[in-house]
Structure 1
Amino acid sequence: MQRVTITLDDDLLAEIDAEAGARGYQNRSEIFRDLVRAGLQQSTRSSDSGDCVAALVYVYDHESRDLSGRLVRNFHGHHDLSLATLHVHLDDHNCMELTALQGSIKEVQHFADHVIAERGVKYGRVITIPTNASRQRKKPQTHRA
């Protein structure tokens, strides 16, 4: 095993400690290992090719330096992927956006990763749903006599 040092803000560590207690973890290392495994599993890139629809959800501080402008430029640069966006004001500083995306799995995932990684985005998650023809129900064929 390796020892790793990380820095967390007090509020996040308090949440992790509360979750560890609620789940019955004996120490922080155990919950961190499970959370990291879950995060890696969630972010594992599959070799799926083809198209998908996706829901991109993220919370950000709208006062973060030029973040709103960077996000708008990002979305305009990928207008072909974005179907619709819902913007919610959570409090004086934080907003949540939910965006429906459609396109190739790789392009959607790349775009979502870029949005989530922007400085000032506090939380982000993308859920992709493949829409490959092989996974969709085929229409019955009609035959001519």
Structure 2
Amino acid sequence: MERITITIDADLLAFVDRLSAAKGYGSRSEAIRDMVREAAQAEAAASPEAPCVATLSYVYDHETRDLARRLTNQQHDHHDLSVATLHVHLDRHECLEVSVLRGPSGNVRAFADGVISQRGVRHGHLHLLPEPDAPEHSHAHSHPHDHEH
């Protein structure tokens, strides 16, 4: 670990202190490391070819004409990106879906944009992370593989 000294204006330092307190960081250094780490992850996933893992969460009105069918078709058209999807009924009209995605970040972003921009989708957010530099399906632990990939 390296030690650095930075000069920061009072308003930014106050923000770091508020963030540290709100999120329970033990020090300013931990808060700043997380901010820099988040920026590094965003940069690593910026290239459209960069492999990534992501969650796409969105709320939609299931009574919007033809929306459920359009969303299902989008999922099927991009089955190669989909790892899993969770569907939750929030009330009589609104549903929440959370999809775990994996693939080239450009394809994942395009899929997310296509879902979020559908008429009837009220809120949507894509959280994208660079895929770890590990050989495919390499495990540091042992467990029986009774499933297919």
For 2:125, the aligned partner's letter is R
The residue that corresponds to 1:74 in the other structure is 74
Instruction: Report the CA distance between 1:49 and its aligned residue.
Output: 3.4
Q: CA deviation at 1:47?
A: 3.6
How many Å separate the matches in 2 of 1:76 and 1:120? 19
> Take 1:92 and 1:79, find their aligned partners in 2: how far apart are those partners?
28
Opposite residue 115 of structure 1, the aligned amino acid is V
Which residue matches 1:108? 108
1:48, CA displacement in angstroms? 5.7
* Residue 84 (structure 2) aligns with: 84
Consecutive unaligned residues of structure 1, counting only runs of 5 or more, are: 1-41, 135-145
Q: Could you say which residue in structure 1 is the equivalent of 2:50?
A: 50
Following superposition, the deviation at residue 131 of structure 1 comes to 1.2
Shift >4 Å, 4+ stretches: none
> How far apart are the structure 1 equivalents of 2:102 and 2:94?
26
Residue matched to 2:36: none
- Percent identity over paired residues: 51
Q: Secondary structure at the match of 2:128?
A: strand
Q: TM-score, normalised by structure 1?
A: 0.59
Match of 1:18 in 2: none
Give the conservation status (yes or no) of the 8 Å contact 1:50–1:132: no
Aligned length: 91
8 Å CA contact 2:55–2:101 kept in 1: the answer is yes
Q: Deviations over 1:86-109 (max 9, x none)?
A: 000000100000000000000001
Partner of 2:119: 119
Give 1:116 deviation, angstroms: 0.3
The aligned counterpart of 2:60 is: 60
